[in-house]
Chains A and B, each alone.
Chain A
Amino acid sequence: MTALTDDTLPVTPRAMRDEMIVFVVMALLLVAVPFSGIYPFFVMQALCFALLACAFNLLIGYGGLLSFGHAMFMGTAGYCSAHALKVWALPPELGILVGIVAAFGLSLITGFISIRRQGIYFSMITLALSQLLYFIYLQAPFTHGEDGIQGIPQGHMFGVLDLSKPTVLYYVVLVGFLAGFLLIYRIINSPFGEVLKSIRENEPRAISLGYRTDQYKFLAFVLSGTLAGFAGALKVFVAQNASLTDVHWTMSGEVVLMTLVGGLGTIFGPVVGAFAIIAMQQYLAGFGQWVTVIQGSIFVICVLTFRRGVVGEVAHYFRRSL
């Protein structure tokens, strides 16, 4: 099996410095958004998907596991958070927690099942599991089927932050995104992350070195699923609904697309990809089904000519890791 990234660079102090500079620039740009006149709803939505794509990328880019069902974590967390906020009338911070715990529980179960097979089978299993969940949510009473959970109260976070004000909500979502992003960055650069990368490059060798690779992959799966759930819980406050589209396989496909466009196994790639795909959907919304065709074409073009993705190509050009 060939490696995903053919030019893995060692982690050097210079690489760390580059990454921190890019991170600070990204954070500053995002902080400045409300003053720029850009529609904040669009950026908030993109941030949620960016976090989801980063969580997905943790699994594929660093663990070499292609999950084709990551929407199930986002959708499950979304439904549970929405239910907690609307029916149980919990405050926002607890609502988010409920969503995260739900995604955590789901990733424990699905991870236990899907980690048993490798490579292409893993992708098919995750896809099938997410479809199973889709049908369960379609029939379960608390999700309200086709209608979804609508009109979710945004409430006051910690009793003081009024989330119904767009600017306040924007900064809460931004803080959530940056926290999630830094956590993923920390995981990637931890000893655990190094082992994960070695499993991606050559699993039999990692096993022969004495690593229980299944446990590492399982932990990566759970971390990824839980973080994807966090993204889903945040998205509830932005969209104020939780619906079946968030659990459908097309959504899982979009997450894959975002990460592929930005660059598999790059730190900033999923963020760039998420903004690019969300922007594209926004501007091409009037073209109906042609959006699907365009997305499909991007998949084909990326796989055939552009496998490193936008950020991956830039990093390759400058011989840096980003």
Chain B
Amino acid sequence: MQALYAQLLVGLINGSFYALLSLGLAVIFGMLNIINFAHGALYMMGAFVAYFLLNLGGISYWWALLFAPIIVGIFGMILERTMLKFLTGLDHLYGLLLTFGIALIVQGVFQNFFGSSGLPYAIPDQLKGGMNLGFMFLPIYRGWVVIFSLVVCLATWFLIEKTRLGAYLRAATENPTLVRAFGINVPRMITLTYGLGVGLAALAGVLSAPINQVRPLMGADLIIVVFAVVVIGGMGSIMGSIITGFALGVIEGLTKYFYPEASNTVVFVLMVLVLLVKPTGLTGRAA
């Protein structure tokens, strides 16, 4: 049973990353109509920024949680202003191709300087060690990742669904021209939205740095799984992305325990099953 709980925890952690990443993808898709293929590369950048902050600037993990998403978010906003902006009105596929190119560039540059092996990032002192919960041993850092991700996801949900800013955002998603006519600076909102989505990816990167090591290709395969998560959940609902992300992580963890050979593929298989039964995805509306 110990092993089962351990795999469930790993599943919850992966689920946190899926949730944070698919949430960002959904927010970006809503505003920009772009599937951000660079999301995995920006997640990786988040981890690297945390690594640089610690090793070059002596800035701790806690500040990295704040600064890395801001730095990567600004990088994202520059990308939006200099490139993605010009794709408005074009076919969806150009956004996918452009961001795929950006992902190749970013990953290639990091691979050139850091190779393919992982750089270690130490768990901060305050989160070292573990707790004995009676039925299992819980490493504190891992518990922290799950709870913190959940809080960030819910905060994002609250921001978009319950605040005035979120209302503008949702309105601009439905009808940008009309919202603009009300005097709201929609292009700036689009830039900020991209920054927010990218920042969430970078935050996931910082969280994963102590667990998965910091590697240039850490986001390359992850983003494909997240795409499958997005196909399963649909991008219509913020809460849907969060729940699907965590649920698939848990299912993946259970698969690791019961049938390890399929742990790499279970999310994709589930995607196929969902497509056969309910082609629009679990929460999605017809595309």
Contact = CB atoms under 8 A, between A and B. Distances in A.
A297 interface: yes
B132 interface: no
B107 A292 contact: yes
Contacts of B75: none
Interface in A173-203: none
A1 interface: yes
Contact of B228 (A123, A128, A291): A128
B96 A292 contact: no
B97 interface: yes
B112 A289 contact: yes
Contacts, number: 132
Interface stretch (A46-54, A90-98, A267-275, A299-307): A299-307
A2 interface: yes
B271 interface: yes
Contact of A124 (B91, B231, B264, B272): B231
B275 A4 contact: no
A284 to B, nearest CB: 12
A113 B275 contact: yes
B227 A293 contact: no
- Residues of A in contact with B, size category: 35 or more
A58 B272 CA distance: 24
B101 A128 contact: no
Given A125-B231, A296-B103, A298-B101, A4 B83 contact: no
B224 A249 contact: yes
Contact of B98 (A127, A290, A293, A303): A303
Contacts of A222: none
B147 interface: no
A260 interface: yes
A135 B275 CA distance: 20
Interface string A53-92: 0000000100010101000000000000000000000000
Contacts of B182: none
Given A113-B276, A117-B287, A304 B112 contact: no
A253 interface: yes
Contact of B224 (A119, A131, A296, A307): A131
B268 interface: yes
Nearest to A129: B268
B275 A304 contact: no
Interface of B: 29, 35, 83, 86-87, 89-94, 96-98, 100-109, 111-112, 221, 224-225, 227-228, 230-231, 261, 264-265, 268-269, 271-272, 275-276, 279-280, 287
21 contacts: A1-B92, A2-B89, A2-B90, A117-B275, A120-B92, A128-B224, A128-B271, A132-B268, A132-B272, A253-B100, A260-B97, A292-B105, A293-B105, A296-B102, A296-B103, A297-B105, A299-B100, A300-B101, A300-B102, A303-B101, A304-B83
Given A118-B287, A127-B227, 7 more contacts: A117-B287, A128-B228, A131-B225, A131-B268, A256-B97, A304-B83, A304-B98
